[in-house]
Amino acid sequence: MHPREDPSPRDDACSDAPSARAAAVMGVRRCLTLALGVLPFGIAFGATATELGLGAGHSAAMSVMIFAGAAQMAVLELWRAGASLAVLVMVAVVINLRLGLYGGALARSFPTRPTARRALMAYLITDQLFATSLARFGEPGGQRHRVAFFVGGGLTLWLAWQLGTVLGATLGAQAPPSLGIDFVAPLVFIALAVPGLRDRADVAAAIAAVLTFVALPDLPRGLPLVLAAAVGLIIGTVVDTRTP
C-alpha cells in the first residue's frame, strides 16, 4: 500500500490553506516546535565554538554558510583535534550527503518551479523541513501552495538555528546538565521518523538501516550513517518491489 503514491499536483483539492500566506503560516506553525528542538542544538554549537576561541562572528558565519548542525559540530571537533583541511571537508560532505537525497525526494513536489527559485529553496533543506514538508504534501489539500509552506517552515528553522548559535556564542551553555536538554535531539528525530513509517517497505528499510548502523564497527564519522542509509534504501526497495 502506498497512501502517498500520487504526488502529482492537485490544485483543485480541498485545502485548509486557501492562500499562499495561510500556507506559509502553516509552515511556520508546523516547524515551530521543531525549532524549539533546534534551539538547544544551536546553543550547544555556539557555546562549543566560543570555547574553541571562534568568537560570535565566526560562529554565526559558520551557521549561515553551512546551516547543518551535525556537520558543523563535527568540523569543530575535528578542527580542535588538528585534522587537515581535506579531512574536515570530506567528513562534512559525508555527513551531509543525506541532504542530497532529501532534495531528490522533494524535487518532484516542485516540478514546474523556475530553476532560480529552486536554487534558493535548496539552501533551506534540513532533516526537519524535509520530513515536515513530505508529510504536509501527502495530506488532502497539501499540494497547494507548497512553496509558501516550504519557505515558511524553512525560514523558521533557519532563524532558530541562527538564534541558538548567537545565544550559545554570547551566553555559553548555561542550562544545567540535569535537565537533559540534549535529549531533545533524539526526540525530534523520533517525532519526524515514526509518522514517516507508512508501510511494510518503510518498516523494513528502517529496521535494516538501524541494524546496519548498530552492527557496523568503528568507522570514520559520518560513514556509518551513509552505509546504513544505503542498506535501508536497498532493503526497502526490494520489499516494495516484492509486495503485491
Exposed e or buried b for every residue in 123-141, given b needs 16+ CB within 10 A? ebbbbbbbbbbbbbbbeeb
By the rule CB under 8 A, 241 interacts with other proteins: yes
Instruction: Tell which positions 88-147 bind other proteins, by CB under 8 A.
Output: 88-89, 92-93, 96-108, 111, 115, 118-119, 121-123, 125, 127, 130-131, 134-135
* Contact predicate 235/204, CB 8 Å: yes
Nearer to other proteins, 148 or 236 (CB): 236
Instruction: Tell which positions 1-30 bind other proteins, by CB under 8 A.
Output: 2, 30
Residue among 34, 30, 54 nearest 161 (CA): 34
3-state secondary structure (DSSP) of residue 30: helix
Select from 1, 3, 11, 82 the one that contacts other proteins (CB under 8 A). 82
Q: Which three cell numbers stand for residue 124?
A: 533551506
By the rule CB under 8 A, 47 interacts with other proteins: no
Place of cell 524535487: 107
Select from 214, 217, 218, 244 the one that contacts other proteins (CB under 8 A). 214
Q: Nearest distance from residue 160's CB to other proteins, in Å?
A: 13
Place of cell 528525530: 189
Q: Which three cell numbers stand for residue 215?
A: 552492527
Q: Nearest distance from residue 16's CB to other proteins, in Å?
A: 16
Residue span binding other proteins (CB under 8 A) among the ranges 13-21, 151-159, 167-175, 235-243? 235-243
CA 122 – CA 96 distance, rounded (Å): 13
Nearer to other proteins, 159 or 233 (CB): 233
Site track for other proteins across 160-179, x = CB under 8 A? ------------------x-
DSSP 8-state secondary structure symbol assigned to residue 139: S
Q: Total residues at the site for other proteins (CB under 8 A)?
A: 94
Hey, CA dihedral for 98, 99, 104, 105, is it positive or negative?
A: positive
**Residues for the chain: how many in total?**
244
By the rule CB under 8 A, 77 interacts with other proteins: no
Residue span binding other proteins (CB under 8 A) among the ranges 9-17, 20-28, 158-166, 225-233? 225-233
- What's at 205, amino acid-wise? A
